[in-house]
Structure 1
């Protein structure tokens, strides 16, 4: 199996396990909204980047259907954005907010 496929499988499993294990039931709706919003923004951005030939993906999950990287911009980046928002510090401490941005 190619190393790209192994990395994608691990990434998908990690996102699913983190979502199931770390997102509390009472804020799953907020998590879905932030995930879909980040997915929309990343899709628009990468669509225009590929359209104007600013980026090219050597490995794609669906090479005949699209020139986009499916997993990266439809699962992994939106998951990062979702966890960024869900774990954003509620306190107004500048140090905690800066550390949060540095971590992500």
Structure 2
């Protein structure tokens, strides 16, 4: 097993521990909704970017799955959804639009910097036609859609 797979396993373990530490027991259902809805967004978007040849994930945690789906299972289906859970559960509800923009940029920026570093120093991500600002933009849009869905879900849950 190469160093990249060890990195993916270690980061996945850190994310699992973060979930247990950062998601309150009464918010587990909310976390599940956020996790699953973000996967609805990231799967087709990630698949589209990979199939267009814009981005590639040469090293996979589950390489046998790469035969059918060349997106990154670790990033698209696990790590980014966990970031989205933390984003929405800790979103300060009293922010004005400037504060909200900073919050979005901070989370999306963290994820973008992380991906750019991985692209530069590992074989986990390879940009072809993709640029860092596309990651920033798509992460911000994904977080926005996911958070809006979450707010709608919470509102509908209270009404029932």
TM-score of Structure 1 vs Structure 2, range by shorter chain: 0.7 to 0.9
Q: Which runs of 5+ in 1 are unaligned?
A: none
**What is the match of residue 63 of structure 1?**
63
Does residue 87 of structure 2 align to residue 79 of structure 1? no
In 1, Cα distance between the equivalents of 2:80 and 2:55?
A: 16
In 2, Cα distance between the equivalents of 1:62 and 1:17?
A: 21
Does residue 23 of structure 2 align to residue 20 of structure 1? no
In 2, Cα distance between the equivalents of 1:37 and 1:60?
A: 23
Kept in 2, the 8 Å contact 1:35–1:78? The answer is yes
**What is the match of residue 135 of structure 2?**
none
Q: How does 1:84-95 map to 2 (within 5 A)?
A: 84-94=87-97
RMSD: 1.8
| From 100, 116, 125, the counterpart of 1:97 | 100
Q: CA shift at 1:80, angstroms? A: 0.9
In 2, Cα distance between the equivalents of 1:89 and 1:65?
A: 38
Larger CA deviation: 20-29 vs 85-94: 85-94
Kept in 2, the 8 Å contact 1:57–1:68? The answer is yes
User: What is the total number of aligned residue pairs between the two structures?
Assistant: 104
Which protein has the bigger helix share?
A: 2
Q: Which runs of 5+ in 2 are unaligned?
A: 108-160
Q: CA shift at 1:62, angstroms? A: 3.4
Task: Please list every run of at least 4 consecutive aligned residues from structure 1 whose deviation after the TM superposition is greater than 6 angstroms.
Answer: none
